[in-house]
Amino acid sequence: MTKLIPDEAPRRREGRGFWRKVWAVLIKEFIQLKRDRVSFAMIIMIPLLQLLLFGYAINTTPRNLPTAVLLQENNDLTRAILAALQNTRYFKVTELPKTEAAMDRLLASGKVLFAVEIPANFERAVRRGDKPAMLVAADATDPVAAGSAISALGMAVQTALKHERAVPDSVQMPFEIRTHARYNPAGKTELNIVPGLVGTILTMTMLVFTALSVTREIERGTMETLLSMPITPVEIMLGKIIPYVFVGFIQATMIVLLGVFVFGVPILGSIWSLALLSTLFIASNLATGYSFSTVAQNQLQAMQMTLMYFLPNILLSGFMFPFAGMPVWAQWIGEAMPLTHYLRIVRAIMLKGSSISELQYDALALVVLTLVTMTIAVTRFRRTLD
């Protein structure tokens, strides 16, 4: 016959044992995470995929931009300019329109992203030292690409002129480039994107992990056992959040390392400040996800809430559009989101070399938002099955 209870009762520790219970849940969560291969793959794959996809889409050295060139005169010099454009490999001259109207149509339809017009009597004007104007029209919906292409254009044309000996070597820029950026006159620097990705990737993955943690226990029925045991909502919450702080930290490290070594993003500020504030941001997202989990009825609802939260985060945090350009009401929404503050922090530390004391407003905002969401989560957590 088997025995259910030991002859001698096992000894129990004295006191509340707060951290001991947190530890118990933490170990359990780690084991479960280890067994869940899909989640495990997500930890590695989401940052990797996002970073590589976004990263290469924003490649700072565009290649083969489809370009139209309108030649109002045809001579050795203009042919040399055409060849020089091709040689930069920035441009790929795909069209040679005959009129300005035809050129505009090509640009509007998106067949070309770049249009260069060399006016009549260009060569004569250059030789006379009149500084004639080359007209350049760029589709600046992709401002990054347009910006670097325009500077490459200037260099290419000058090289061509020197090669044809149209001007003495001593003369710098014997022509002017009259740029006309269409569709999006303001351009932003590409370096913004990689630090921004640290924030968005962490928001997405951290939310998804904890948003499911409570609803999963309810759906699987394990919540009934958990609630019948001597453990409090705060202990459960911390036990469930802390493992993912580590996970988030690994992800953040991965993204930053890739950013530095693959995309050449600098870290001008202190790496320790970055680590500290990133940990705070991770905890904030975990608390948010966890509070969704206490509100949602099931895992599907929790996922839907996560998506609904994620969208304004992307749009209003300053990740995609400049924060300063948003209307005031949108800025207020943005201020209420951890991502907004973290984006300022991560960009400032990595790109401007700011210190924590310069970022205290945003750091404090993160602390407050984390505490508020944790309080909501603990009060919303149902201690009973009522």
Partner 1 sequence: MSAPAVSQSGAEDIAIDVRHLTKTFDGRAVVRDLSMQVKRGTIYGFLGPNGSGKTTTIRMLCGLLTPDSGTGTCLGYDILTETEKIKSQIGYMTQRFSLYQDLSVRENLEFVGRIYGIEKPAAAARAAIERLGLSGREDQLAGELSGGWKQRLALGACTLPSPQLLLLDEPTAGVDPKARRDFWNEIHALAADGLTVLVSTHYMDEAERCHEIAYIAYGELLARGTVAEVIAASHLTTYTVSSNDSSVLARLTDELSSAPGIDMVAPFGASLHVSGRDKDALEAAVALYRGRKELDWKPSEASLEDVFIDLMSKAKDNFQ
Containing H/E element for 181? strand 176-182
Cβ closest to partner 1, residue 36 vs residue 176: 36
Backbone angles phi, psi at 8, to 5 degrees: -115, 125
Ramachandran class of 8: left when φ > 0, alpha when ψ lies in -120 to 50, beta otherwise: beta
Three-class DSSP category at 299: helix
Cα distance between residue 222 and residue 208, in whole Å: 20
Cβ closest to partner 1, residue 111 vs residue 220: 220
| Min separation Cβ 58 and partner 1, Å | 40
| Min separation Cβ 30 and partner 1, Å | 10
C-beta of residue 385 within 8 angstroms of C-beta of residue 227: yes
Cα distance between residue 117 and residue 133, in whole Å: 9
C-beta of residue 306 within 8 angstroms of C-beta of residue 211: yes
Cβ closest to partner 1, residue 17 vs residue 154: 17
Q: Which tokens is 331 given?
A: 């800025």
Residue whose pair of structure tokens reads 């940990």 in the numeric block: 279
Containing H/E element for 66? strand 65-71
Q: Helices 338-347 and 360-380, interaxial angle, to 10°?
A: 150
| Min separation Cβ 213 and partner 1, Å | 13
Cα distance between residue 249 and residue 246, in whole Å: 5
Q: Which residues bind partner 1 (CB under 8 A)?
A: 1-6, 9-13, 17, 20-21, 23-24, 27-28, 31-32, 35-36, 220-225, 227-232, 384-386
| Min separation Cβ 375 and partner 1, Å | 20
| Min separation Cβ 380 and partner 1, Å | 17
Cβ closest to partner 1, residue 3 vs residue 169: 3
| Min separation Cβ 297 and partner 1, Å | 15
Three-class DSSP category at 333: helix
Cβ closest to partner 1, residue 170 vs residue 228: 228
Cα distance between residue 45 and residue 313, in whole Å: 21
Cβ closest to partner 1, residue 229 vs residue 311: 229
Cβ closest to partner 1, residue 31 vs residue 250: 31
Cβ closest to partner 1, residue 229 vs residue 324: 229
Q: Give per-residue burial for 79-103: e unless 16+ CB within 10 Å, then b.
A: ebbbebbbeeebbebebebeeeeeb
- Which amino acid is present at 124? R
Estimate to the nearest angstrom the gap between the alpha carbon of 154 and the chain centroid.
31
| Min separation Cβ 222 and partner 1, Å | 5
| Min separation Cβ 46 and partner 1, Å | 22
